[in-house]
Amino acid sequence: MADPSVVLCDDVDLGTVEVVLAGPWNGRVRIDLAVAVRKGLTEHPRALLLNLAGCEGADWALVGAVLLAERESLAARPSVPLLAIASPAQRGVLTATGVTARVPIFETADLARAALGERSPPLGRVALHLSPTVLAPSAARIFVGDTVLAWELGATLHPARMIVSELVDNAVEHAGTPLTVTVSRRGSLLHLAVEDGVATPPRVIDGPGRSGAPLELRGNGLRIVASAAVAWGTTPTAGGKVVWATLRAHPPGVRM
């Protein structure tokens, strides 16, 4: 029997995060699932997809898992729509217990994404594809700056440009693949994401940075991101990873 696992996967094109369960259900999976749902919601996605279809032997236990994910999704600010993917047997249990009246259930992740595509888009979302050159950070700064000004979010101009510059610089230096910069607005939050083609996540180097050293030795880039953002993190994708950061679109004390 395969070992159980809970995996997070980001879909930059749709702005969603998928939590995928695989293998037999046990107490560890229950804990890992709760952690993964909270981590996925920290990214403030357009929607959270909870994929239960690969989980074995937990039809009744999954009722509680779906309801817990629903509670966490509703508690997010702004709230995040929850869509679930379940096998026919799981769907029967979820229907019998009334969960399907609360959470949309689909047979496959493709059907869930198709249904999401028919819904209203997020308040604002734009993307820019870049080549991994020395000009990419500058292009990303201009793109993000123009976007937040167009959305009348001038208070985020400096931190947003600074964050995206660091994220793109990291992607160019350490991944060296084509990358995509995405800017999304959800309620009072501004979400910045940079997708590249290398799965290895970035890390903050312990200890003080050394002026003049390469970025991987200084470790200052991600410290800048962490200090300027409400939250930041990394999520795997089908072809690499997304490194993201979230800002308040309207910082406290700013009257609109």
Contact 221, 228 (CB under 8 A): no
pLDDT digits (tens, 9 = 90+) for 155-169: 999 999 999 999 999
Alpha carbon separation from 97 to 61, 89, 94, 128, 140 (Å, rounded)? 12, 13, 5, 44, 48
Q: What is the pLDDT of residue 211?
A: 45
* pLDDT over 50 at 215, yes or no: no
The amino acid at residue 182 is T
* pLDDT over 60 at 242, yes or no: yes
Across the range 23-49, mean pLDDT stands at: 89
| Residue among 172, 181, 188, 186 at smallest CA distance from 221 | 172
The amino acid at residue 48 is L
Q: Rounded to two decimals, what is the model's pTM?
A: 0.73
Instruction: Let me know how many helices (H) and strands (E) the chain has, helices first.
Output: 8, 10
Compute the distance between CA of residue 254 and CA of residue 207 in angstroms, rounded to an integer: 35
Instruction: Please count the CA atoms within 13 angstroms of the CA of 49 that sit on its side-chain side.
Output: 26
* pLDDT over 70 at 8, yes or no: yes
Across the range 230-253, mean pLDDT stands at: 84
Across the range 221-226, mean pLDDT stands at: 84
pLDDT digits (tens, 9 = 90+) for 129-185: 999 999 999 999 999 999 999 888 889 999 999 999 999 999 999 999 999 999 988
Residues 6+ positions from 256 with CB-CB distance below 8 Å: 152, 250
Cis? peptide before 78, omega within 30° of 0: yes
Across the range 123-131, mean pLDDT stands at: 85
The amino acid at residue 186 is R
* pLDDT over 50 at 218, yes or no: no
Compute the distance between CA of residue 130 and CA of residue 125 in angstroms, rounded to an integer: 17
Concatenate the DSSP letters of all residues of 21-69 into one string: EEEE--HHHHHHHHHHHHHHHHT--SEEEEEEEEEES-TTHHHHHHHHH
Domains of the chain: 5-117 (3.30.750.24), 124-248 (3.30.565.10)
